[in-house]
Amino acid sequence: MDQLDDATRTELEAAAFRRLLEHLDKNKDVQNIDLMILADFCRNCLSKWLVAAAEERGETLDYESAREHVYGMPYSEWKAQYQAKATPEQMAAFEQRQNAKTAQSDPTRQENNS
């Protein structure tokens, strides 16, 4: 990608992002908790990243508008239609991932837990 000019690289990255949103939209059964466990991000993270990107460029984008873009509908509607309650197993896996991240960023915590 280094050989591409900035505009072309930006266009390709934007196209890939749009494709990611399409993929997530076609796979609504993939829950945010699953994404967080496996990839450490979810649809809400994407929304927050959009807001941050707008702010970095001096633009205003509110979180709910960003979420509506990412989810393809108002978040409350998506949540009511597609979001299942996290299972105890999912919550345990999420907590384990978070603890592992904390231990990785703080080696003294890892030593104390041994």
At 81-97, the pLDDT tens digits run 999 999 999 999 999 99
Q: What is the dihedral of CA 13, 44, 68, 22, to 10 degrees?
A: 40
Q: Is the pLDDT of residue 114 over 50?
A: no
Mean pLDDT of the chain: 92
Instruction: Assign residue 58 a region (left: φ > 0; alpha: ψ between -120 and 50; beta: otherwise).
Output: left
CA distance 37 to 101: 11
At 36-74, the pLDDT tens digits run 999 999 999 999 999 999 999 999 999 999 999 999 999
